[in-house]
Amino acid sequence: MCSLIHILIVISLEVVVISGLDNGLCLTPPMGWLSWERFGCNIKCHLNRDECISEKLFTDMADRLVSDGYRDVGYDRVNIDDCWMSRNRAEDKKLLADPKRFPNGIKYLSDYMHSRGLKIGIYQNYGLRTCMGYPGLIGFQKVDAQTFVDWEVDMVKLDACFTPVHTLDKGFEDFSEVLNKTGRPMVYSCSWPYYQLHTSQVIPNWNLIADKCNIWRTYHDIHSNWKDILATIDFVGDNQEIFNRNVGPGRFNDPDMLLIGNKGLTVDQSRVQMGIWAIIAAPLFMSNDLRSIGQEFKDILLNKEVIGVNQDRMARPGVRVFHNETLDIWLRPVLPEAKHSTGSHTSYALAFINRLSERAISIAVKLDELGLKHNIAVKLDELGLKHKYFVSDLFDKTFSPQVLTADHMFHVTIPSTGIRLFKAVIDLEN
């Protein structure tokens, strides 16, 4: 165990400064609710008016965000995905919301959100049609951007179904400029690199993507099952050196929605998703039914300390420092920092995932072997300094916080397909 970890911690936690999309938005990952995974393209309101893509669905979720405490911990966006439009544009070429399902139009929904301290997001596709066959963006970039401005939209997700992959760089870059020229700051969520990575052999231009988008999708649509959660986490871990290079305030990798509260994920598995999405600085968009979610899942989504890790102002993504078939260990530098003549030393969030479904596993590890003294440039001992960490468990409140020095042996038991998520707050002492 120890020697294995030693080999793997060469991964850099250094700060790399790269400029990103300069619209002043998403200095920390955006949070909210998004319709797609849970409600998809269900347009059959005559069969079940609570389950279809309609004005009611979005106002219902907005009401829950406000009444059940989600908005107040940061989930302040309500995002519409595909299937909100009429099948055809209006005579003046503008997009129209489906008049039956959105009887008052999108501006009404936008006002509804804004008057409740929420923001609204919308969906379009860089193509002739959207993924589900509604009118697409190509040929109407300026018209659609202006329509979104007229509706006071706060975020635009741009998908890329049915579009030749070699045209995506220019298409997504141009639309970033179009959005900018409207003068209304709108979060720009890009599915751009996903299509390059998974439908062709094109290597994404990561610098350009981070320069033009606030968030960008890198992996397949996620579904409510453990296999998908693990596959998504593995994809991020396997490619972390590429992905992390461009992450920072205003620009984040998007591993897709939080599925906590849906059938298909246990409480432990839900904690894994929440914990790792916090560690990797992922956008936190829930796609679930807030009207019927169980309290045990709600507690996970409303966990302020875990959200605090996700929203850490340094916006430095975590790294996977250990990985095998059984176990993952992830580490993210977070505030507070201890300032000292030797430099600034960060605290850490630390996650252990048990990937197996058969049984709990127990491990013992020293914090310094995991890299918790990684950014300490000089030997503290020589200066007569000791660094200690105040370690608390962010999910399990029965865990008594411990004060550990970096060379202490730390014993951790991790439930099957579960996580232990700790925060280790640095304390430098003379």
User: Which residues 6+ apart lie within 8 Å of 36 measured at CB?
Assistant: 81, 82, 221, 257, 287
Find the helix or strand (DSSP H, E) in which 380 lies: none
**Residue 4 or 203 having the CB closest to ligand NAG:** 4
* Per CB under 6 A, 88 contacts ligand NAG: no
Q: Which residues in 200-229 contact ligand NAG (CB under 6 A)? A: none
**Residue 302 or 363 having the CB closest to ligand NAG:** 363
**Residue 24 or 384 having the CB closest to ligand NAG:** 24
CB 29 within 8 A of CB 284: yes
CB 157 within 8 A of CB 146: no
Q: Which residues in 270-329 contact ligand NAG (CB under 6 A)? A: 324-327
Distance of alpha carbon 36 from alpha carbon 40, whole angstroms: 4
* Per CB under 6 A, 413 contacts ligand NAG: no
CB of 250 to ligand NAG, least distance (A): 11
Place of tokens 């707050």: 425
Distance of alpha carbon 145 from alpha carbon 122, whole angstroms: 11
* Per CB under 6 A, 409 contacts ligand NAG: no
- Which residue of 11, 23, 140, 208 would you call a contact of ligand NAG, by CB under 6 A? 23
User: Which residues 6+ apart lie within 8 Å of 230 measured at CB?
Assistant: 355
**Residue 280 or 327 having the CB closest to ligand NAG:** 327
Assess whether 159 carries a catalytic annotation: yes
Q: Backbone phi, then psi, for 331, in 5-degree steps?
A: -140, 130
CB of 376 to ligand NAG, least distance (A): 25
Distance of alpha carbon 280 from alpha carbon 277, whole angstroms: 5
- Sign of the four-CA dihedral 89, 90, 92, 94: negative
- Which residue of 3, 14, 17, 22 would you call a contact of ligand NAG, by CB under 6 A? 22
CB of 362 to ligand NAG, least distance (A): 9
Q: Which amino acid is at 429?
A: E
CB 406 within 8 A of CB 330: no
**Residue 6 or 49 having the CB closest to ligand NAG:** 6
**Residue 200 or 324 having the CB closest to ligand NAG:** 324
Active-site choice (221, 299, 368, 427): 221
* Per CB under 6 A, 4 contacts ligand NAG: yes
Distance of alpha carbon 308 from alpha carbon 32, whole angstroms: 15
CB of 176 to ligand NAG, least distance (A): 9
Query: How many residues sit close enough to ligand NAG to count as binding (CB under 6 A)?
Result: 14
* Per CB under 6 A, 416 contacts ligand NAG: no
- Binding pattern for the stretch 145-184 against ligand NAG, x by CB under 6 A and - elsewhere: -----------------------------------x--xx
C-alpha to C-alpha distances, 77 to 31, 81, 138, 273, nearest whole angstrom: 6, 13, 26, 20
Q: Which residues in 346-405 contact ligand NAG (CB under 6 A)? A: 363
CB of 199 to ligand NAG, least distance (A): 29
Find the helix or strand (DSSP H, E) in which 280 lies: none
- Sign of the four-CA dihedral 352, 357, 362, 365: negative
Give me 282's structure tokens.
């992922």
CB 264 within 8 A of CB 224: yes
Active-site choice (159, 228, 256, 268): 159
Assess whether 221 carries a catalytic annotation: yes
**Residue 53 or 351 having the CB closest to ligand NAG:** 351
Distance of alpha carbon 208 from alpha carbon 196, whole angstroms: 13
Give me 238's structure tokens.
């396997």
Interface segment toward ligand NAG; rule CB under 6 A; list 16-24, 35-43, 192-200, 289-297: 16-24
Q: Which residues in 24-83 contact ligand NAG (CB under 6 A)? A: 24
Enumerate binding residues for ligand NAG (CB under 6 A): 1, 4, 22-24, 180, 183-185, 324-327, 363
User: Which residues are marked as active site?
Assistant: 159, 221
